[in-house]
Amino acid sequence: MNARVILVVISCVLSVVTGLVLSHRAEGEAHAGGVNKKPLIGLSLDTLKEARWQSDRDMIVKHVKELGADILDTAANSDDSVQIGDVEKLITNKIDVLIIVPHDGKAMAKAVSMAHDAGIPVIAYDRIVRDSDLDLYVSFDNTKIGVLQGQYLVDHLPTPGKGKIIRIYGAKTDDNARMLKEGQDQVLAPYIARGDIKVVHEDWADDWKPEVAKRIVNAAITEHGGDFDAILASNDGTAGGAIQALTEEGFAGKKMVTGQDAELVACQRIIAGTQAMTIYKPPTVEAVNAAELAVKLALHKPVIAGQSVNNGKVEVPSALSEPIVVTPANMEQTVVKDGFHTHDEVYRGAAASAQKSP
Ligand code: GAL
């Protein structure tokens, strides 16, 4: 029987671990509690376009299976109606828990209520679902990522703390993009107020598309020529688009560019000198967390979430991990050491990409 699972958030007063305990009550027999049935997790991804989502998907699938559960995964190609259809299919397939990376953080509130109507708890992965009764949020501290990007930029301008910059934000539909901007703003605000840092051009990149980021930088160069020092790009995809525009104008390696995701091509650019930094968000932490929490929820085991994030409707119990700044100085000790990318992939690829640069 498809049990109605009710998640109850109780303050963890007795636990040594500070946080929230999620437990749930099943009316009748739960799916996963059935004698012969393995728990079944549904994973609905926005997209697999960026390399990061492929590694996340692979890691979640692998870990869910290692935990003795099954998983069905879908990707919606950045289309809200496709994603709603994907969730409908997962529900029809009688999943016990839904993990969702929303394309549009507001539109997917509908997916949360559809799952709840079928008694299925929902975990938002990496991107929060706004204005919904979301059960759990697994991510990194996205405001902190913005702070780290902004601080790196301020500290590494040719004249630290002073300069002209271009800002590229992510997708307006993604609450992470807003939180990243908020974190960046926290750092930049006093410099901008003093007139030490001037934002000469800024824009949002629809669906985080590199080609949109490229057009933003093309437009900035048309207006200002080379009269800027750095590009505060919110992720590696948009950094890639920005660097293409810089390369066409002979500015690659001469303007500092930030990023996020530690994608292989971005790590290669960092070693080649065309991108300054990225933010590494180990999927070994985020994906493994999500897999473990999903399987626990499916098995009706208590779950501890150390933080909470307000999604506009409720305080969502959250497990947020720490992001890591990556530069040439710690490439080996971070992404290479973890086996996220091999030494050869990063350094040989970097040499090849440097040779290709004009
Ligand atoms: C964000 C995510 C980033 C980046 C971006 C584009 O929500 O936090 O890591 O990948 O989406 O997909």
The encoded tokens of residue 231 equal 């590009």
User: Which range of residues forms the domain containing residue 58?
Assistant: 5-134+282-321
Q: Are 352 and 203 contained in the same domain?
A: yes
Q: Are 276 and 291 contained in the same domain?
A: no
Q: Are 121 and 164 contained in the same domain?
A: no
Q: Are 185 and 289 contained in the same domain?
A: no
302 CA distance to ligand 1 middle (Å): 29
Q: Are 235 and 269 contained in the same domain?
A: yes
pLDDT at 265 (0 to 100): 97
Q: Are 188 and 336 contained in the same domain?
A: yes
The encoded tokens of residue 168 equal 């590229």
Q: How many helices (H) and strands (E) does the chain have?
A: 10, 16
User: d(Cα 28, Cα 31) in Å, to the nearest integer?
Assistant: 10
The amino acid that residue 309 corresponds to is V
Q: Are 212 and 341 contained in the same domain?
A: yes
Question: Cα 332–334–339 angle (5° rounding)?
Answer: 85
Q: Are 289 and 272 contained in the same domain?
A: no
Phi and psi, residue 336, nearest 5°: -75, -45
Q: Are 158 and 61 contained in the same domain?
A: no
Q: Are 56 and 163 contained in the same domain?
A: no
Per-residue pLDDT of the chain (358 residues; tens, 9 = 90+): 233 333 333 333 222 232 344 434 333 334 544 555 899 999 999 999 998 999 999 999 999 999 999 999 999 999 999 999 999 999 999 999 999 999 999 999 999 999 999 999 999 999 999 999 999 999 999 999 999 999 999 999 999 999 999 999 999 999 999 999 999 999 999 999 999 999 999 999 999 999 999 999 999 999 999 999 999 999 999 999 999 999 999 999 999 999 999 999 999 999 999 999 999 999 889 999 999 999 999 999 999 898 999 999 999 999 999 999 999 999 999 999 999 999 999 998 777 766 655 4
CATH of the domain at 27: 3.40.50.2300
3 CA distance to ligand 1 middle (Å): 33
169 lines ligand 1 (CB under 6 A): no
Q: Which of 46, 57, 180, 208 to mutate to test the pocket of ligand 1 (most atoms within 8 A of CB)?
A: 208
pTM given for the model: 0.89
Q: Are 341 and 254 contained in the same domain?
A: yes
Residue 304 pairs in a beta bridge with 21
User: Taking Cα atoms as reference points, which of 183, 278, 280, 268 lies closest to residue 238?
Assistant: 278
Maximum C-alpha span of the chain: 68
